[in-house]
Structure 1
Amino acid sequence: MRRRDEGGQVTLLIIGFAGILLMAIVAVIDASAAYLQRQGLDNLADGAALYGADLGSSGIYEEGLGEGRLSQRDEAVRAAVQDYLARAGAARRFPGVDVGVRVDPAGRSVTVRLEAPLDLPLTVPGSPSSPRVAASSTAAVTVEPGE
């Protein structure tokens, strides 16, 4: 009776495991890049929302400094957010960034949403060809009663 030669089976198994390990490494690198970009967008959105809410506050002369949140003027908020993003270099740091600004008159708050294409360092077969990362932040200016 002849014995089968199993010498090539181990090589095939090692190549398969190496391929799986390589794809796992690529996935971790891409996930890290996406996380870091989202953190950068989060920081920009936080700063823009705070800056917009602060400079867009109105009603101090008309309504006084009563308790609660100050009113927000839509055009002043949008101008302040664009100014902040320009000074922070958002377009240079995140090419193709889309900016969304929403002023909620009822809640008297400002929401800034930033979305940018993600430039992945490596690509996994079957992954999205042009992924995007988004972040948003909401801010309001409140007046705290004095003691």
Structure 2
Amino acid sequence: MTPRARDDRGSATPLIIGFALLLAMTVAFVIDASAAFLHRQGLDTLADGAALFGAEAGAEGTEVYTGGLDSHALAQTRAQAEIGVRDYLTQVGAYREFPALWFEVAVRDDRVVVRVSAPVDLPLTVPGGPEAPMISATGAALVNPE
């Protein structure tokens, strides 16, 4: 039996295709991550503005007229804060910029907390990744007359 001569011939095509696919998936991931980050930055701005507007609208103000301002924080109502947040989001055109935008308002002691969420339309789709993930941001405003 004669030993076969071993040669180094072969195809580099599978290796090149594999690296090209890996590079394409990495590029898609970076582009999608950048789009999601920019989307969240926009939502951060909305959440902060909405919290300030909601805190201002959420203060009932009745104690200001009856007793004036002292060192105590203004009483907040969730319903009034929600109205203020909704008005703010409408005024700045948030529903046009972020379709399917929704928000939550919570009043905790002397603080109004607003959480806004919206789906992000990713420019590229990574196999196995979500097609329209939800991005959220939270903003808070403190109501204290001092």
TM-score (norm 2): 0.88
Counterpart in 1 of 2:5? 2
RMSD: 1.6
Query: Residue 73 in 1 paired to residue 77 in 2?
Result: yes
1:79-103 alpha-carbon deviations (Å, 9 max, x no partner)? 1111100011111000001111112
Supply the distance in 2 between the matched residues of 1:7 and 1:62 (Cα, whole angstroms): 90
For residues 117 and 61 of structure 1, the distance between their equivalents in structure 2, rounded to whole angstroms, comes to: 43
Residue 16 (structure 1) aligns with: 18
Report the counterpart of residue 130 of structure 1 in structure 2.
132
Superposition map of 1:85-100 within 5 A:
85-100=89-104
Contact 1:70 1:140 (8 Å CA) reproduced: no
Matched-pair identity in %: 50
Larger Rg: 2
Instruction: Give the number of equivalent residue pairs.
Output: 141
Q: Hey, which bits of structure 1, 4+ residues long, moved more than 4 A?
A: none
Q: Answer 1 or 2: which has greater strand percent.
A: 1
Gaps of 5+ in 1: none
Distance 1:15 1:63, change over 3 A: farther
Structure 1, residues 98-146: CA drift from partner, whole Å, max 9, x if none? 1111122xx12111111111111001101123311001111122122xx
Give the TM-score normalised by the residue count of structure 1.
0.87
Give 5+ residue unaligned stretches, structure 2: none
Whether 1:25 aligns to 2:27 is: yes
* Alignment partner, residue 109 of structure 1: 111
